[in-house]
């Protein structure tokens, strides 16, 4: 059986009404008039236990399902709740949508979305074909992004482990070969510099990987990093903290590697679902980097760079001093660079409008100390973004 590709996703439809199953097949077939819809392979079952068996078989053949639509009541077999629990037990990454024509539970009370689990979505019958298409397309894209994210995380861990092992082995050889203390100290210093070079090279490689998927914003992270360093110096942060902020800024958008390239380069306004996926890049960046031991809290800084002083940011809704100073600096620098640069969906707004944005929202969205330092860097020091 053909494995799912970038444009081919497996969908599981479970309903005791064969007419409903035929409707799923029709809506998600290539013949349906939706030119931008991915290719879906729809597998249908009339009972919950049959669906569980299908999921188990898919894992054995490495042909997993991206999305499952489950009917709530499927007599005489198990209901949708049992089926959802069993499917998630086998494969937690499947996106489950519970579909039902009933608004009440067996006890007569309302059946909220959380009746199943926080991982399941809820769709009321009768549904519209566009709802099925939107759920299938958005959740399949999310499913694919999560798989790519896991692969990238594994590759990064392997790379870090390999580099660490090489450096440890190098240090062992140095200690065996060097006989006097002065030589040992000099070699250890060299080893530290080598480690820093490897880390800097890894940071650069990560940044280039993100920009290859989003060529329209090429150089964005580098320019934000340059401004971040200048602002951090103006504020008076210690040199070590400045370096941590600079490196975090250099890969602050690493989470975008988990997003579909079509969203990154889309020349028109994003849909609500696409905006939600785009906003998830802060969480994705944190998940990629949280297991890597940097000398600075790089993962936490990246996690917070879209938080705002009044708590209106994302993904945690942090406010004030609960946001790290490094993240507050990157947040301001990111806004200025983005507004001053061209994007697929609009031309550059110009540096004057970019600086006016942070002035108008000084103390509300942006740290006033950071805003003042940023203005001084441009107006008094003549800062210019590198090409």
> Does residue 259 lie within any of the structural domains?
yes
Q: What is the DSSP letter of 364?
A: T
> Could you tell me where the DSSP H helices lie in the chain?
18-27, 48-60, 80-90, 129-177, 181-213, 220-235, 239-250, 261-264, 272-279, 281-289, 298-304, 325-340, 351-360, 368-379
The per-residue pLDDT string of the chain (387 residues; one tens digit each, 9 = 90 and over) reads 445 555 689 999 999 999 999 999 999 988 776 556 789 999 999 999 999 999 999 999 999 999 999 999 898 989 989 999 999 999 999 999 999 876 544 444 444 443 445 567 888 888 999 999 999 999 998 899 888 888 888 787 788 788 777 777 877 776 677 666 766 676 666 655 655 565 566 666 665 666 666 655 568 888 999 999 999 999 999 999 999 999 999 888 888 877 666 665 565 677 777 777 677 788 888 988 888 788 889 999 999 999 999 999 999 999 999 999 999 999 999 999 989 887 666 677 889 999 999 999 999 999 999 999 999 999 999 999 987
Which pLDDT value is given to residue 348? 76
Which pLDDT value is given to residue 63? 93
In terms of C-beta density within 10 A (0-12 exposed, 13-18 middle, 19 or more buried), how is residue 158 classed? exposed
The residues that bridge with 9 in the sheet, in sequence order, are 40
Domain of 328 in residue numbering reads as: 214-379
Task: Clarify whether residues 241 and 322 are in a common domain.
Answer: yes
> Does residue 34 lie within any of the structural domains?
yes
- The dihedrals phi and psi of 35, each to the nearest 5 degrees, come to -65, -30
> Does residue 169 lie within any of the structural domains?
no
Closest CA to 326 of 224, 228, 239: 228
> Does residue 103 lie within any of the structural domains?
yes
Q: How many CA atoms lie within 13 A of 124 on its CB side?
A: 7
Task: Clarify whether residues 222 and 360 are in a common domain.
Answer: yes
Sheet holding 39-45, edge to edge: 39-45, 8-14, 67-71, 95-100, 120-124
Which pLDDT value is given to residue 106? 47
Residue ending a domain, among 92, 127, 142, is 142
| CB-based contact 128:178 (threshold 8 Å) | no
Which pLDDT value is given to residue 166? 78
Task: Clarify whether residues 133 and 274 are in a common domain.
Answer: no
> Does residue 160 lie within any of the structural domains?
no
Q: What is the CATH number of the domain that holds 352?
A: 1.10.3210.10
> Does residue 184 lie within any of the structural domains?
no
Task: Clarify whether residues 238 and 126 are in a common domain.
Answer: no
Residue ending a domain, among 106, 124, 142, is 142
> Does residue 18 lie within any of the structural domains?
yes
Q: How many CA atoms lie within 13 A of 107 on its CB side?
A: 4
pTM for this structure?
0.49
Pull the structure tokens for residue 385.
């973004």
| CB-based contact 331:306 (threshold 8 Å) | yes
Q: What is the CATH number of the domain that holds 26?
A: 3.40.50.2300
- The dihedrals phi and psi of 104, each to the nearest 5 degrees, come to -120, 160
Residue ending a domain, among 90, 115, 142, is 142
> Does residue 328 lie within any of the structural domains?
yes
Domain count, the chain: 2
């Amino acid at each position: 059986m053909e494995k799912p590709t970038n444009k081919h996703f497996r969908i599981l439809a479970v309903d005791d009404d064969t007419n409903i199953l035929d409707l799923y097949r029709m809506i998600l077939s290539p013949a349906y008039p939706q030119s931008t819809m991915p290719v879906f392979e729809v597998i249908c079952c009339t009972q919950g236990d049959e669906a569980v068996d299908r999921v188990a078989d898919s894992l054995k053949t490495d042909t997993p399902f991206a999305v499952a639509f489950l009917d709530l009541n499927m007599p005489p077999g198990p209901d949708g709740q049992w089926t959802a629990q069993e499917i998630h037990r086998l494969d937690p990454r499947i996106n489950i949508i519970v579909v039902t024509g009933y608004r009440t539970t067996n006890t007569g009370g309302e059946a909220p979305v959380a009746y199943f689990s926080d991982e399941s979505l809820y769709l009321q019958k009768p549904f519209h074909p566009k709802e099925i298409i939107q759920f299938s397309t958005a959740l399949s894209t999310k499913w694919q992004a999560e798989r790519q994210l896991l692969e990238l995380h594994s590759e990064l861990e392997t790379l870090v482990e390999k580099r660490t092992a090489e450096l440890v082995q190098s240090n062992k050889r140095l200690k065996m070969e060097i006989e006097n203390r002065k030589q040992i100290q000099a070699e250890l210093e060299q080893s530290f510099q080598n480690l820093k070079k490897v880390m800097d090279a890894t940071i650069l490689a990560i940044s280039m990987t993100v920009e290859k998927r989003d060529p329209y914003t090429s150089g964005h992270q580098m320019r934000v990093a340059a401004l971040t360093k200048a602002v951090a110096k103006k504020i008076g942060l210690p040199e070590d903290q400045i370096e941590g902020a600079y490196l975090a800024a250099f890969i602050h958008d690493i989470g975008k590697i988990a997003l579909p390239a079509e969203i990154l380069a889309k020349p028109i306004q994003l849909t609500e679902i696409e905006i939600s996926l785009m906003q998830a890049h802060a969480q994705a960046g944190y998940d990629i980097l949280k297991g890597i031991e940097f000398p600075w809290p790089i993962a936490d800084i990246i996690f917070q760079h879209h938080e705002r002083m009044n708590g209106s940011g994302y993904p945690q809704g942090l406010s004030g001093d609960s946001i790290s100073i490094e993240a507050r600096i990157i947040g301001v620098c990111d806004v200025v660079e983005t507004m001053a640069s061209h994007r697929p969906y609009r031309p550059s707004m110009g540096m004057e409008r970019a600086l006016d944005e942070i002035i108008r929202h000084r103390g509300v969205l942006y740290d006033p100390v950071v805003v003042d330092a940023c203005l001084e860097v441009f107006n008094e020091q003549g800062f210019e973004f590198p090409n």
